[in-house]
Amino acid sequence: MINSLKILGTNLFSARRLLLLSLLWVLSLTNILKTSWAGDDWPVSQTPYWLQWRLGDIKPRYVLHEALYWNNQWMMGQGRFYPLTWIESRFLVSYFRDLVTYKMFSALILTLMLILFLNVVRKLLPDSKFVVAVFIGFCLTMQFRRSFDPHFAFLLMVPSILIKIFIASIFFYKSADETKSLARRVVYVTLGATFMFSAFITYEYAFVLVLIPAILLIQGYVDSGRQSNMLSFKQTIFRKDFLLTLMVLLFVWLGYAALVFLYLRPKALDISGAYVLGFSTYSFAVIAEQILATIPLLQPVINVVKGSSPLEPSYLAVIFALLLFLLTRLLMHEDSKTNGYTNSRKLDKPRISRIKAINLNYLAPGSLGTAMLITPALILAFQTTWWEQSSITNTYLGVLIQEMGLAVLIGILLRKLINPPISVRAKGKSKEKL
Amino acid sequence: MRELRNSFVSWVVGIIGLFVFTHNSNVALDTKFRDLNYLAWEAVTRETDQFKQVKDRDIIISTTSNDAYEFNAGRFFYNTGKRLAYIFRIDILWPELNTCQESLDGVCSSTYLEGSIDRAKKTIPNLNRDKNNWPRVTLDGDWVDQMQEVNALDNSEVWVLDLFLMTPNTAVSYFSRTTDRNGFPTVKLNSSQVFTVSKSKDNEFNLKVFDECLVPRNQQATRSSNGLWIREWEFPKNTDFTVDYRSVFFGSC
């Protein structure tokens, strides 16, 4: 509980900010709880009943067999390797058969995903107000889709890969931070690599999200170098331990690529449909459309213009809007009172160059946001079937990742737009403005 | 000036949040469009006596079943305890129906089509699983294997079942034994069972088949555990004739 509070860079005494955040998130989750089975959830939810009909009982090894049967079919047929999603989804519906319990578990997983996301963001810019600004951005960018929706359907596949990627990123960051024990550092790197690979074998979108742990790894070494040895960025990235860890990361990434493209794809029996890859001028249009599709308000406005659903706000929507307004207002009001003081332990240690601090402030989160916004669109851009069907209203499951990326960029905008320059209180010195 | 700008930004954030939340709420409610299908299936399979004569290894044929949703043999077993050989869609058992020419009465001729049991025996192997997949668990008592043993279906009865929405508020369930267990599905109309499952207690309409109006068996509908209203219907006495199952269509009186 204390750690989750520290994620937001706050403590129990900033209760009103935490209360607003919690209420806003709970309200967001009410829309998840309203949904029924959708998309792939329908057929997969029949798994326990098929198992009972076919095998007479539901045992864990029967569920595992069922999951790996489907994994084998996709592996041998299309050359795809993502067994974890088959295993997770089949166990999920076998033991959470009731819609209510399934949706409550979904809400829990989404909450875990959000906490880890904000933790990752905070590592890149340890400023609690920026974290809150990113949360506000996510409240604006999280939009449900009528076609393929990753927020409440498809058996939590996308939240699952994000959880693993974020955990991997945190471990890679911690490995940089760990200066005392080599054994502990090795453990962190191993755990980071393991979670990263487990994300790859959950769904292929994780393959392009390798940039997230890479960014956290670089930032970890930059922070650590700056803190202890006053190393420059260039000195940091040529450190032996950094290069070794980066090689581990690349080895895992390239290892998965080799498994899929050099071993499975050549043996695949029938690569067809969305799994035929290519690149053309259409790919650029797909990238642009998929990025534009994440803009807040676009989906609601299109639905109103099409006449498919009126925008008549419910009382819950009004409460949500009010709380969001209050949180934004509070953020700005607090900041003008405290003059932008940050509680970062990294920034308020030895004095740092003014210009470098301003440059580094948004570079890392900006890179994260941009990477998350663009890379899922790249996956669709390389699939020939998406060249004609992609549009700003027709997206795919990676849109949740893109929404998070855009939320980071909105968070940067809000932080820069509404707040005065960041102040740093160096030890024994009066406050200095950066 | 800053205060004005901050105020403006807060308002913009609030208003965008209002519409995004409303949009999400609308999309969330749209996912419930199949709820009546699902709840009607649950009500009919769990809370009526429609399937009391069905036994293990029987076959059900349907034009409205869908393995991707709740209308499947697995869910049927879970809800009724009856372990069917399978629930087959009629166009899966007889794919030639998709391409045949319509006869004068508007229904593709079934004269030269193989019987239900013979077709089922040929179709069930499609459900086989490769036993060499990893992990090579021993699947003791694979029901699909058992259905392919010699004489496995010798005592199987063949039934027809359809469940569909007549209106957004009322689903109809039609169930009947076929008159010739190894012929093309034909049914004796007044031996069939019909239930409606409705959101409202009051009768939305009276059912009609072959220009004959059905009558409710009871004055009052029964409330199911999921809040819907179940009503059983009777065929009039002069519907004592046999028809091709595909020609059974429901209207309202």
B68 inside 8 A of chain A by CB: yes
How far apart CA A189 and CA A183 sit, in angstroms, is 10
Q: With pLDDT > 90 as the criterion, what percentage of chain A qualifies?
A: 56
**CB-based burial of residue A366 (10 Å sphere; 0-12 exposed, 13-18 middle, 19+ buried)?**
middle
Instruction: For residue A194, give every residue at least 6 positions away whose Cβ sits within 8 Å of its Cβ, in sequence order, or none.
Output: A168
Is residue A33 within 8 Å of A102, Cβ to Cβ?
no
Which of B16, B27, B30, B140 to mutate to test binding with chain A, by most A CBs within 10 Å of its CB?
B27
Q: How many CB atoms lie within 10 A of CB A116?
A: 20
| Interface touch A52/B74, C-beta < 8 Å | yes
Q: What angle do CA A161, A165, A168 make, to 5 degrees?
A: 140
Q: How far is A20 from chain B (nearest CA, A)?
A: 13
Listed ranges A8-17, A108-117, A410-419; the one with the highest mean pLDDT: A108-117
What is residue B225's predicted lDDT score, i.e. its pLDDT? 94
| Interface touch A143/B19, C-beta < 8 Å | no
- The predicted-structure confidence for A84-122, as pLDDT tens digits, reads as follows 999 999 999 999 999 999 999 999 999 999 999 999 999
- Closest to B73 (Cβ–Cβ): which among A36, A53, A303? A53
DSSP code of residue B243: E
Which of B6, B15, B23, B72 to mutate to test binding with chain A, by most A CBs within 10 Å of its CB?
B23
- Does residue B105 carry a pLDDT above 80? no
- Closest to B13 (Cβ–Cβ): which among A69, A145, A325? A325
- Does residue A433 carry a pLDDT above 80? no
What is residue B139's predicted lDDT score, i.e. its pLDDT? 62
Identify all chain B residues contacting A56, using CB atoms and an 8 Å cutoff: 141, 143
Identify all chain B residues contacting A317, using CB atoms and an 8 Å cutoff: 18, 21-22, 25
- Closest to A417 (Cβ–Cβ): which among B9, B17, B133? B9
Cα nearest neighbour of B132 on chain A: A69
What is residue A181's predicted lDDT score, i.e. its pLDDT? 86
How far apart CA A213 and CA A172 sit, in angstroms, is 7
A261 inside 8 A of chain B by CB: no
How far apart CA B43 and CA B37 sit, in angstroms, is 10
What is residue B71's predicted lDDT score, i.e. its pLDDT? 96
| Interface touch A297/B19, C-beta < 8 Å | yes
- Closest to B11 (Cβ–Cβ): which among A314, A325, A414? A325
A266 inside 8 A of chain B by CB: no
Residue A13's pLDDT band (cuts 50, 70, 90) = very low
- Closest to A34 (Cβ–Cβ): which among B28, B129, B130? B28
B141 inside 8 A of chain A by CB: yes
Minimum mean pLDDT range among A205-219, A407-421, B154-168:
A407-421
- The predicted-structure confidence for A250-294, as pLDDT tens digits, reads as follows 999 999 999 998 999 898 888 766 677 888 888 999 999 999 999
What average pLDDT score do residues A126-149 get? 92
Cα nearest neighbour of B83 on chain A: A53
How far apart CA A410 and CA A130 sit, in angstroms, is 10
What is residue A22's predicted lDDT score, i.e. its pLDDT? 94
Minimum mean pLDDT range among A180-194, A200-214, A296-310, A373-387:
A296-310
Q: Three-state DSSP class for B28?
A: helix
Q: What angle do CA A211, A217, A220 make, to 5 degrees?
A: 140
What is residue B98's predicted lDDT score, i.e. its pLDDT? 76
Identify all chain B residues contacting A103, using CB atoms and an 8 Å cutoff: none
Instruction: For residue A214, give every residue at least 6 positions away whose Cβ sits within 8 Å of its Cβ, in sequence order, or none.
Output: A246, A249
- Does residue A419 carry a pLDDT above 80? no
Q: Which residue has the higher pLDDT, A299 or B173?
A: B173
Q: Are strands A423-424 and B212-213 parallel, antiparallel or unpaired?
A: unpaired
Identify all chain A residues contacting B140, using CB atoms and an 8 Å cutoff: 55
Phi, psi of B126 (to 5 degrees): -65, -20
How far apart CA A225 and CA A231 sit, in angstroms, is 5
SS3 content of chain B, % helix, strand, coil (to 5): 35, 25, 40
**CA B85 to chain CA centroid, nearest Å:** 16
Residue A434's pLDDT band (cuts 50, 70, 90) = very low
Task: Kindly list the distances between the CA atom of residue B50 and the CA atoms of A70, A193, B157, B161, in Å, as whole numbers in the listed order.
Answer: 35, 56, 15, 10
Q: Which amino acid is at A203?
A: Y
How far apart CA A375 and CA A213 sit, in angstroms, is 14
How far apart CA A202 and CA A68 sit, in angstroms, is 13
Q: Which amino acid is at B31?
A: T
Q: How many CB atoms lie within 10 A of CB A434?
A: 17
The residue with tokens 């409202």 is B200
Q: Are strands B242-244 and B229-234 parallel, antiparallel or unpaired?
A: unpaired
Q: For residue A29, what are its two tokens? A: 């989750």
**Average pLDDT over chain B, rounded to whole?**
89
How far apart CA B67 and CA A141 sit, in angstroms, is 35
Minimum mean pLDDT range among A74-78, A335-339, A352-356, A369-373:
A352-356
Cα nearest neighbour of A326 on chain B: B10
What is residue A416's predicted lDDT score, i.e. its pLDDT? 85
Tell me the β-bridge partners of B251: B208
Q: How many CB atoms lie within 10 A of CB B72?
A: 23
Q: Three-state DSSP class for A275?
A: helix
| Interface touch B20/A142, C-beta < 8 Å | yes
B112 inside 8 A of chain A by CB: no
What is residue B130's predicted lDDT score, i.e. its pLDDT? 73
The residue with tokens 């819907």 is B228
What is residue A417's predicted lDDT score, i.e. its pLDDT? 77
Task: Kindly list the distances between the CA atom of residue A126 and the CA atoms of A113, A335, A347, B253, in Å, as whole numbers in the listed order.
Answer: 19, 15, 8, 71
Find the helix packing angle between A240-257 and A211-228, rounded to 10°. Answer: 170
- Does residue A338 carry a pLDDT above 70? no
**Average pLDDT over chain A, rounded to whole?**
85
- Does residue A342 carry a pLDDT above 80? no
The residue with tokens 């084998």 is A72
What is residue A387's predicted lDDT score, i.e. its pLDDT? 86
How far apart CA A289 and CA A213 sit, in angstroms, is 26
What is residue A177's predicted lDDT score, i.e. its pLDDT? 83
- The predicted-structure confidence for B196-230, as pLDDT tens digits, reads as follows 999 999 888 899 998 889 999 988 899 999 999 99
The residue with tokens 């950094």 is A242
| Interface touch A52/B77, C-beta < 8 Å | yes
Is residue A335 within 8 Å of A416, Cβ to Cβ?
no
What is residue B229's predicted lDDT score, i.e. its pLDDT? 96
- Does residue B158 carry a pLDDT above 70? yes
Phi, psi of A127 (to 5 degrees): -135, 115
B46 inside 8 A of chain A by CB: no
A354 inside 8 A of chain B by CB: no
What is residue A103's predicted lDDT score, i.e. its pLDDT? 95
pTM: 0.89
Q: Three-state DSSP class for B159?
A: strand
Task: Kindly list the distances between the CA atom of residue A175 and the CA atoms of A219, A234, A240, A346, in Å, as whole numbers in the listed order.
Answer: 11, 19, 13, 16
- Closest to A49 (Cβ–Cβ): which among B9, B16, B74? B74
Instruction: For residue B211, give every residue at least 6 positions away whose Cβ sits within 8 Å of its Cβ, in sequence order, or none.
Output: none
Q: For residue A371, what are its two tokens? A: 């990477």
| Interface touch A300/B19, C-beta < 8 Å | yes
B73 inside 8 A of chain A by CB: yes
Residue A334's pLDDT band (cuts 50, 70, 90) = low
Q: For residue A378, what are its two tokens? A: 């790249």
Q: Which residue has the higher pLDDT, B182 or A111?
A: A111
B150 inside 8 A of chain A by CB: no
Q: For residue A236, give the nearest of A372, A190, A245, A165 by alpha carbon.
A: A245
Residue A305's pLDDT band (cuts 50, 70, 90) = confident
Q: For residue B51, give the nearest of B72, B79, B88, B89 by alpha carbon.
A: B79
Identify all chain A residues contacting B141, using CB atoms and an 8 Å cutoff: 55-56
B218 inside 8 A of chain A by CB: no
Q: Three-state DSSP class for A42?
A: helix
Identify all chain B residues contacting A297, using CB atoms and an 8 Å cutoff: 16, 19-20
- Closest to B20 (Cβ–Cβ): which among A152, A300, A329? A300
Instruction: For residue B99, give every residue at least 6 positions away whose Cβ sits within 8 Å of its Cβ, in sequence order, or none.
Output: none
Identify all chain B residues contacting A153, using CB atoms and an 8 Å cutoff: 31
What average pLDDT score do residues B119-145 get? 80
| Interface touch B22/A311, C-beta < 8 Å | yes
How far apart CA A346 and CA A360 sit, in angstroms, is 13
Identify all chain A residues contacting B1, using CB atoms and an 8 Å cutoff: none
B226 inside 8 A of chain A by CB: no
Task: Kindly list the distances between the CA atom of residue A56 and the CA atoms of A31, A50, A53, A87, B126, in Å, as whole numbers in the listed order.
Answer: 37, 9, 6, 20, 20
Q: Are strands B229-234 and B193-198 parallel, antiparallel or unpaired?
A: antiparallel
Is residue A140 within 8 Å of B16, Cβ to Cβ?
yes
| Interface touch A46/B9, C-beta < 8 Å | no
* Residues within 8 A of B (CB atoms), A 131-150 only: 136, 139-140, 142-146, 149
Q: Are strands B158-167 and B59-62 parallel, antiparallel or unpaired?
A: parallel
How far apart CA A72 and CA A78 sit, in angstroms, is 10
Q: How far is A58 from chain B (nearest CA, A)?
A: 12
What average pLDDT score do residues A69-92 get? 92
What is residue A18's predicted lDDT score, i.e. its pLDDT? 87
Q: For residue B123, what are its two tokens? A: 């179709």
